[in-house]
Structure 1
């Protein structure tokens, strides 16, 4: 009986040694993983790295500038440029030019240069800056 008890105790002590080794190995791997992640995060690459879903300030600014540049500036546009807008012919284009300057696109309504329906058709295509 004593030999059996000694064998069981020895088996459990080996299991405990393996458990300790396994725990230490896993802790070491976790530590290495954290180190690698931090290294990638703080590495000095020439190209910035962005997390998916983020937009850089430069990209956002460029998008806004592109959106504005696609619009026709009613304070500086030529008659031909204004005539290219839906519902604006040469007569209305000339009227827009005669009533300049405009502080906002709503001034086209305030100065009675355009009616509500025409304004609604072009408001997303015009700007004052």
Structure 2
């Protein structure tokens, strides 16, 4: 009887200690940092901008991506958020467009007769009567 009572008391005390919730929470969870977020022209956070963070925690807002056209052509696109430009490189030609407008989920760049509309993972180029649709790749 004493062994059974001792085992029961041990089990209950072990259960009580292990089920105690910590008030501090999980310290391995990273909190979202919206400080210094780039705002669109309408004052909301620009969702087309993605930050790169190095191992020291420094944020870089000049990012480059590879987009793929519907015909399979790969295009390198570099967004420079500090200068408010986008450079599009394809077939050894680079086009640099200036930011015209941003609505939070869509950003428009333009220079002369070329216009680029960026919306999430897609980029639509308009040059005269030509429309080229590009999609961000996972490369």
**TM-score normalised by length of structure 1:** 0.39
The answer to which structure has the higher strand fraction is 2
The answer to which structure has the higher helix fraction is 1
Select the structure of larger CA radius of gyration. 1
